[in-house]
Structure 1
Amino acid sequence: MLICQDQRSGYGCGAENPDDAANCQRCGMALRFAVHLQNPGTVVGHYQIVRMIGYGSYGAVYEAQDCRDATRKVALKETFEAAMIVRFQREFDALAHLSHPNLPHYYEVFEADGCGYLVMEFIPGQSLDEILNRQKAPLSEQFLIGYAEQLCDLLTYLHSQHPPVLHRDIKPANIRVTPEGVVKLVDFGLFKQGIQRTRQTLHGLGTLEYMPLEQFDWSGGTDQRSDIYSLGATFYHLLTRRYPISAPKRMTKEKDPLRPPHRLNGHVSRHVSDAIMRAMSRLPLDRYPNAEAFKRDLLGKTQRYIRGAQMRERLVDQGLFIYTLAWHPGGHILASSGEDRMVHLWRPHDGAPLGSLRGHQSKVQALAWHPDEDLLASASADRTIRLWRSTDLSCVTTITGHREPVTCLAWSPDGEVLASGSGDTVYLWAADGTPMSEIHCPERAKVYSLAWRPDGQMLAVGYDDHQIRLWQMAEQLSVFSLQGHTGCVYSLAWSPDGQSLASASADSSLRLWRLANGRLVDELRRHKNWAAKLAWHPDGSGEEQPWLWRVSDTSLCLIVTGHRNYVYCVAWSPDGQVLASCGADSTLRLWRNDGSPISLLMGHSDWVQAVAWSPDGNSLASASLDGSVQLWSMV
């Protein structure tokens, strides 16, 4: 295949032409110096080309199949320049012996027909640049922090090598995210070993907006802090959807003209914004000395000490069962629903009723607030979903088409898709209620739970055939079927970084899955009754019922005892300092994050079905089968 692009000047229309073409079929330009690419099916060395991923004037990247191993797909990096073959060899020699979950594997380097080839692991998925371009808004902070932890850990690993390995071209396009949510840092073409200055480190600069000042001076005088600058610039772009001002332009002003991320995006926490600005300091001495320090500040939390809670309001519905609660993202409205077929809205600060939403013909089993708008979705056993505008209590639309009662609801993180479970089908709806598609379970199992991965690329679904199926939303293909439960899967919860999934089942077990390979990481079977609902610690460490364990190494940290019957629902406070639990003993309990008890909250007269923290963490709501919702204030 000949690409109409002159390798000397870069000019050309970019059209594809047959190998024997003398002139471009589109623009007529002579193809003597055109970019020559391998055709699908061509065998190069031991690898058969599947497709071309991308190309430039000096090389290309292909997806290829290893002819010696039918199970191995590789990325085949090709260079047209003889001088680049030496760089490929240097890159391979430096990286082939490294092993880290966020690095691709390097297999070999070889030459064929005057071109050089670097063979590495093929990374499916999308780059962060592609993900950002797909969205209409910046990435969410929670989404980014999960990836930031992985990238900071990787830089700590690279920079701790002897000599240190520097990437020198960190940017969204060079960070890929697999369908399982694992980050991979790719394209080490500008890497450098150590902090020495050599002529070899001067070939190429990087990408303007992400480069620190010292990388512009052609001296090769970069070190670990240069990568930290580029990583900070990457986070800046992802959280603001704006390219950061280049380092040279920033140096022309006495006062740094770069605006902090929280000034451009009000959803960015101040501590995250401050950490990024320090990482992007104009002078290396003002930056973080290492990636671990950068990570600590990105994850920094304000500590507080809660002594207990006191009941503030008792909100009584109609004396019928209440099944679910949902706080408005802004914290100024609490919604509840249950057996009485209505959705009730309350003003949390004084417990005043704001109104009731009527229209369903049967019990309301699920609620979900839109992440960005005053839009509430309610799901009912009457086989409908209703979308309500909380500002005027109006029903915006009624979604019909379900063949059985609707059991669960979940908005995608970007708020563009509403997923609902009914019978053996997951239905996907646009935010205005327009049907998009249906995902049918081939085994006709019924849907009991839904959970979007934080990046919105995958939907986990729990079924009554005891399995969890993970659906890749771009193609709506089942990626994994997680088997092991022996009862219906009633609840699912992703860790904030999207790498682990917790599941709760009627078999009285909670299971923790790491999805790099879909295997079961940990299982706890000490519950005497059904394990019904899960929550995740905001910093990504898992929890369930009143058992705590570390996601990082799956070791059991401690057992928290106190409830006299099964625990139905647990939830972490937004700052991760307090765990609230409730259950069939009609009580709520507050625990510190080390498992020590804070207080016992009594007031309900029947099972406590749901518990939910306000977004600011100052209030707690509980719902019970006694027909009441209670509000508790932290003291």
Structure 2
Amino acid sequence: MDTGYITDDNDRAFPYVLNRRWEVVDKLGQGGMGTVFMARDLNLPNLNDQKRACVVKQLRDDFFREEDREKALQFFFREAQVLAALNHPNIVRILDFFTEEGKSFLVMEYVQGQNLHEMVMKRQEPFSEEMVVEWAVQICDVLHYLHTHDPPVIYRDLKPSNIMIDVHDHVKLVDFGIARPFEESEDNTHVVSQGYSPPEQYWGAADPRSDVYALGCTMYFLLTGEDPAALNVASPKAVNPDISDHIDEVIQRSTQQDVWGRFQSALEMKELLTYNVHAGKKEQQSKPVLAIVAGVFVTAIFLGGLMLSAKLHDQSEMQPAPVDQYRDLEANKNLEAEKNKFLEDKRRFEKEKRELMSNFLNLGGKKEDMPQQAATTSAAKKLPTMAFPIYEQSDEAAITDPDGLN
């Protein structure tokens, strides 16, 4: 079996095999540190090509300066070490790392999709706010995983070209070349991406809030189609007026030059992002539901009030009868039955009213804004004219004892 190696100028014909397992079939691209190839895993012959697909990164070895070669090799090995220690659905998986005939190779899972920079350039227009927030929430999750890992990992190179979106709209972070475990006393390597790296990273003081800054810059790019200015991120709403005030605030806060002015964690940023999303859904869902409940509530009170008023009115019109009429036992029985029916109707009405009030509160109404119970006297019950606002769903505790509403 041919186990020859790939040269930088790609003078070998496809396919060829590396490390007796990885069949290289095509060239995907080339960058400053090496070349990326499409390959297949020969150890999985029973799977289709898509499931066997993987990516091989080959480190270049023709640097002009020895210090550049050593730095590139350091990043390459670090990427392999970091990826080997991680396990998250939004992080590309490492499959193999080896050196063959003096060349270094890194094999990773293949992500079918595009990076965000390519997607924006292809669209020639910004993405919708809803889509950007959905991706940002996923990125917050993976950053939280990295920052709370043991030891914590600072990504340090979050930008659109390092964020892949697969065919299911799932985020995948790639290129962990400059990611490294975070230590407070460590003098971090000064590697920056213009427009996406925060001020502290220029002097090697990156921490988790540095990744938060880069995420804010990435959101700015996705919503405006423009790279943010280096170290001076403006309001994205000034470029794209369709951006909501809430998301504009999130981006401006995450990109503060002072680390203490930013979100102090990716989780904190996610909470504000998802709060906005959930609040919007609650607003859309609670209004029609509360309108229906309120309508039923008012109708029930109105009809019930009419029923009770009619019964009370009928009773109030009963004139005292002559004494001899009360001697009719059947008449007394009918009167008692009518009275019992009236009292039963009254109890049923009050119960239904309490249940409706309880449901109204559970769906977001406020106790202090509920209509007051109509006054009842022995002669009549008057239904007051009432109007009350429709309240949006809130997180207030629901009243669970409807009997306590009277």
Shorter-chain TM-score: what band? 0.5 to 0.7
2:104 pairs, out of 116, 125, 134, with: 116
1:576 aligns to what SS in structure 2? helix
1:184/1:591 CA distance change after superposition, 3 Å = farther
2:282 aligns to what SS in structure 1? coil
2:218 aligns to what SS in structure 1? helix
- Report what 1:516 is aligned to: none
Shift of 1:38: 5.6
Distance in 2 between the 1:602 and 1:137 partners? 49
Unaligned stretches of 5+ in structure 1?
A: 1-18, 20-32, 251-257, 302-537, 540-572, 582-588, 604-632
Structure number having the greater helix percentage? 2
Q: 2:267 matched to 1:292?
A: yes
Structure-to-structure mapping, 1:485-496, within 5 angstroms: none
Q: Which runs of 4+ in 1 moved over 6 A?
A: none
1:114/1:295 CA distance change after superposition, 3 Å = same
User: Is the Cα contact below 8 Å between 1:63 and 1:76 reproduced in 2?
Assistant: yes
Q: 2:197 matched to 1:211?
A: yes
Q: 2:59 matched to 1:73?
A: no
Kindly indicate whether structure 1 or structure 2 has the higher relative contact order, using CA contacts under 8 Å at least 6 residues apart. Answer: 2
User: Is the Cα contact below 8 Å between 1:272 and 1:299 reproduced in 2?
Assistant: no
1:259 pairs, out of 223, 227, 234, with: 234
1:600/1:213 CA distance change after superposition, 3 Å = same
- Report what 1:229 is aligned to: 213
1:270/1:51 CA distance change after superposition, 3 Å = same
Q: 2:278 matched to 1:579?
A: no
User: Is the Cα contact below 8 Å between 2:112 and 2:167 reproduced in 1?
Assistant: yes
- Report what 1:62 is aligned to: 37
2:285 aligns to what SS in structure 1? strand
User: Is the Cα contact below 8 Å between 1:123 and 1:178 reproduced in 2?
Assistant: yes
C-alpha deviations, 1:261-309, integer Å up to 9, x for none? 11211111111111111111012121111001111222333xxxxxxxx
Shift of 1:36: 4.5
- Report what 1:40 is aligned to: 14
Q: 2:53 matched to 1:53?
A: no
How many residues are paired up? Answer: 283
Structure-to-structure mapping, 1:239-318, within 5 angstroms: 239-247=223-231, 250=232, 258-301=233-276
1:42/1:601 CA distance change after superposition, 3 Å = farther
- Report what 2:142 is aligned to: 154
Q: CA RMSD in A?
A: 2.9
Shift of 1:158: 0.5
User: Is the Cα contact below 8 Å between 1:272 and 1:297 reproduced in 2?
Assistant: no
1:94 pairs, out of 58, 82, 92, with: 82
- Report what 1:166 is aligned to: 154
Q: 2:109 matched to 1:137?
A: no
Shift of 1:91: 2.4
Shift of 1:599: 4.8
- Report what 2:380 is aligned to: none
Instruction: Give the alignment's TM-score, normalised by structure 2.
Output: 0.64
Distance in 2 between the 1:156 and 1:245 partners? 26
Shift of 1:92: 2.2
User: Is the Cα contact below 8 Å between 2:124 and 2:225 reproduced in 1?
Assistant: no
Larger radius of gyration: 2
1:63/1:600 CA distance change after superposition, 3 Å = farther
Distance in 1 between the 2:122 and 2:294 partners? 45
- Report what 2:166 is aligned to: 178
Instruction: Give the alignment's TM-score, normalised by structure 1.
Output: 0.41
User: Is the Cα contact below 8 Å between 2:82 and 2:180 reproduced in 1?
Assistant: no
Q: Which amino acid aligns with 1:259?
A: A
Structure number having the greater strand percentage? 1
1:92/1:288 CA distance change after superposition, 3 Å = same
Q: Which amino acid aligns with 1:60?
A: T
1:634/1:291 CA distance change after superposition, 3 Å = same
1:74 aligns to what SS in structure 2? strand
Distance in 2 between the 1:576 and 1:293 partners? 21
